[in-house]
Chain A
Amino acid sequence: MSFFSLARLGFAGLLAMAPALAHAESVEQFPSGPLTIVVPFAPGGSNDTLARLVGRDLEKKWRQPVVIDNRTGAGGNLGGLAVARSEPDGYNLVMASIGTHAVNPFLYKNMPYDAVKDFEPVTLVAKVDLVVVVHPSLPIKSVQELIDYSKKNPGKLNYASGGNGSSQHLATELFKHLTGADMTHVPYKGSGNAIADLLGGQVPVMIADMPIVAPHIKEGKLRALAVGSAQRSAAIDVPTLQEAGVKGYEAYAWYGLFARGGTPRPIVDKLQTEIAAILHDPRNQTFLRDLGAVPSGNTPDEFAAFQKSEIDKWGEIVKPLGMTLD
């Protein structure tokens, strides 16, 4: 009856042995045991789904188990910490988010790890479009109308997010910062709960992950005003915020894989090559794009540069806002 649990423990045991194997094995032999992808958030979110998708295809290719390990807590810092403390052998990866590897260092005074030094970038998995949606009961049809409405009714409008420091929260704060829109933050525990109140009109505005709200936009239950990225989304055709007149606005959620800092470069490269191939697979491409995600699979160097630009960008936004979480 305990077979699966024991199998899981077995994996853990093998993982503990992996460093010994790693030193003995060559790149050609990698991976000779199970891999773990740590997801620093609860099952069911965008990053969990992406991790399971990558894990499923890696398993097929390498014929090694890929264990998805959801380690939640502290805005994703617990999951990041798990990999920061693992062996630098490429067997432990973390599906990082904008939070765990760009923004949290500005939000948390006590970061348990260094988001750059403790990790080896493998590849950016996908950028996920963020879309500005309002409840259809609001007399708002465009971004400009949203800004005007919020200013004409100061202290009235609320916006939802998946939590303090979540990409939805940050993206909306950036929007407010650039436009002067007046909206009060109502945080939820995860986007799912927020969407329920958004659909019920309890909290009428949200900058939400496209994959979650696209079906409701198509049904007319929510009205999409614009997307946060620099290009229009393949899922729902609405202007970008830049096109809608918000100069300099660019925000999206992103998810990428990191290994422990000091993992040998050939192993990192091998991981990146395989994962990029999975992400470039035409079926996965169409699938992810239709959801509102833009698959990447860039090189470790490109990903490192990307991470740095994200840290710089959000540092500039978050610091003046004086946001801290602990």
Chain B
Amino acid sequence: MELLSNLALGIATAGAPENIFYCFLGVLLGTLVGVLPGLGPTATTAMLLPITFVLPPTPALIMLSGIYYGAQYGGSTTAILINLPGESSSAVTSIDGYQMARQGRAGQALAAAAIGSFFAGTFATFVIALAAPPLTEIALQFGPPEYFSLVVLGLVCSVALAHGSVMKALAMIVLGLMLGLVGTDIYTGAPRFTLDRLELADGINFVAVAAGVFGIAEIFRNMENENTRDAVIAKVTSLWPSREDWRRMVAPILRGTFLGSALGILPGGGAILASFAAYTVEKKVSKYPEEFGKGAIEGVAGPESANNAGAQTSFIPMLTLGIPSNPVMALMIGAMIIQGIVPGPNVARDQPELFWGIIASMWLGNLMLVILNLPLIGIWVRLLQVPYHTLFPAIIAFASIGVYSVNSNAFDLYAVALFGVVGWLLLKLDCEPAPLLLGFVLGPLLEEHLRRAMIISRGDPMIFINFSERPISAVLLTLAAIALVIVLLPSVAKKREEVFVEED
């Protein structure tokens, strides 16, 4: 019963009044800063990191974890309320979350996000406590070919489910893939499409694209004429999900949690896929696919659960191997080193109090997030009643601050403006920004892993489909092929019609 004694140690550590306090402080600060439009978890965590230096290691890391969950949830809040996602995963949330807000159902969307996140966080905490080391071994089976095949499956699923204006959805994915090509080629070092601008050397900033095509474009659209202006000032009926909402939320939360937990374990960035994958799955299995993109609560609950579960299980490679699966985990590792702890397989053995304390505090942090945010929903929703002539400039100002603070790069502000115009033009052409972002996020991963696998195999494509040597990759590609075939069947073709539609 080593697990029980370990968990008891963890609960005793995390439950110490001092640690509870820092956990709460972290969640609170993370939420408050993360709720700034355009400020995702990475920027928020980097900004607040120095505060933890004054603390001993355990409370410092507990607080930092709290900041991370808080920032993550804060990012979802802006995605839902004002269509400004702070990171790729909350871009998915804004598809249906923002539509819900426009219909006066912001409270339900925020509650769905909070409740889904809490359940996912709880589940993922147990996954980490029960099975972190064996899961790490599985994750290490994922090499370049496996990641490539996983991304292919992700892309095919979204294409396969795309619909009537399948050409437009495809065009958006391809446009996203092409935008993702901008920047330095990591294999040759050649700058591609950087227009001789140093600022583009690392590619176009995701936050700038997301803020532009989602939030700023939406503001442009709202300013077009008087009739649509009231869109943001929706009538708020009730804040709490109805019985019907609950009924529709349960299954998506479970599926999202499972999907996110599995993808988050992969150190090569599987968590990025989590919310996209969950959205695709929900739309596919839903009884109301026609509501997706128009404010389906499943489209918020599923991806948010997946996102939070993935965020949580991405601690696994960090805690067991010292490998950062995302920039926030890299910051956590830096924080550990500054605290005098060398991250890696030794942490669980040498510092059981810290290791199990962090795990137990994850659950505590998620609980606090819910306790903190459910009452705040009322306040956030009231924010929407601010008149547009005050709200719009404020959104633009805060979004600019947020985007600027990611890289301290003024160029990114021009990018936001440009992508705002681009996003508005796309809206006029009935092209949706979500597939574009999907392509933009997955494109670089697709290329990176494809080329790395080909370097390893010396150009032999069999590396992807060789069942005896690469079973995982082969299975994933087979699934992708099956998904492709399914699209060709007429019964499914009908269902395709709704996936990427998110305009009225």
Q: Given A44-B331, A202-B144, A193 and B268 touching (CB < 8 A)?
A: yes
Contacts of B268 in A (CB 8 A): 193, 196
Contacts of B186 in A (CB 8 A): 163-164, 187-189
Contacts of A324 in B (CB 8 A): 189
A192 touches B140 (CB 8 A): no
B187 touches A1 (CB 8 A): no
Does A53 lie at the interface of the complex (its beta carbon under 8 Å from any beta carbon of B)? yes
How far, in Å, is A218 (CB) from chain B's closest CB?
Answer: 7
Q: Please tell me which stretch of A65-73, A140-148, A245-253, A294-302 contacts chain B, meaning at least 4 of its Cβ atoms lie within 8 angstroms of it.
A: A65-73
Within 8 A of B (CB), among A158-205: 158, 163-165, 184, 186-190, 192-193, 195-197, 199-203
Q: How far is the CA of A287 from the CA of B140 in the complex (A)?
A: 30
0/1 string, B367-398, CB within 8 A of A gives 1: 00000000000000000000000000000001
B321 touches A158 (CB 8 A): no
Q: How many residues of B contact A (CB 8 A)?
A: 64
Within 8 A of A (CB), among B1-59: 29, 32-33, 35-36, 39, 42, 46-50, 53
Contacts of B340 in A (CB 8 A): 287
Instruction: Choose among A8, A9, A56, A216 the residue that contacts B53 (Cβ–Cβ < 8 A).
Output: A56
Q: How far is the CA of A161 from the CA of B357 in the complex (A)?
A: 34
Closest chain A residue to B142 by CB distance? A200
Does B461 lie at the interface of the complex (its beta carbon under 8 Å from any beta carbon of A)? no
How far, in Å, is A310 (CB) from chain B's closest CB?
Answer: 20
Q: How far is the CA of A175 from the CA of B201 in the complex (A)?
A: 29
Q: How far is the CA of A187 from the CA of B451 in the complex (A)?
A: 10
0/1 string, B117-154, CB within 8 A of A gives 1: 00000000000000000000000111110000000000
A195 touches B323 (CB 8 A): yes
Does A2 lie at the interface of the complex (its beta carbon under 8 Å from any beta carbon of B)? yes
**Which bracket fits the contact residues of A?**
35 or more
Does B405 lie at the interface of the complex (its beta carbon under 8 Å from any beta carbon of A)? yes
A73 touches B344 (CB 8 A): no
Contacts of B196 in A (CB 8 A): 110
Does A120 lie at the interface of the complex (its beta carbon under 8 Å from any beta carbon of B)? no
Does A49 lie at the interface of the complex (its beta carbon under 8 Å from any beta carbon of B)? yes
A44 touches B334 (CB 8 A): yes
A74 touches B36 (CB 8 A): no
Q: How far is the CA of A154 from the CA of B47 in the complex (A)?
A: 48
Q: Given A81-B198, A200-B143, A219-B346, A212 and B322 touching (CB < 8 A)?
A: yes
Contacts of A19 in B (CB 8 A): none
Q: Please tell me which stretch of B101-109, B279-287, B452-460 contacts chain A, meaning at least 4 of its Cβ atoms lie within 8 angstroms of it.
A: B452-460
Within 8 A of B (CB), among A276-326: 287, 290-291, 324-326
Contacts of B48 in A (CB 8 A): 4
- Interface residues in chain A, defined as those with a beta carbon under 8 Å from any beta carbon in chain B: 1-5, 8-9, 42-45, 48-49, 52-53, 55-56, 68-75, 77-78, 81-82, 107, 110, 112, 155, 158, 163-165, 184, 186-190, 192-193, 195-197, 199-203, 211-212, 214-216, 218-219, 221, 287, 290-291, 324-326
| 26 pairs, A vs B, C-beta closer than 8 Å | A2-B398, A4-B29, A5-B47, A5-B401, A8-B47, A43-B46, A43-B334, A44-B327, A49-B338, A70-B46, A71-B407, A72-B202, A73-B199, A74-B198, A75-B184, A75-B201, A78-B202, A158-B456, A188-B186, A189-B448, A196-B323, A202-B456, A215-B342, A215-B345, A219-B346, A287-B340
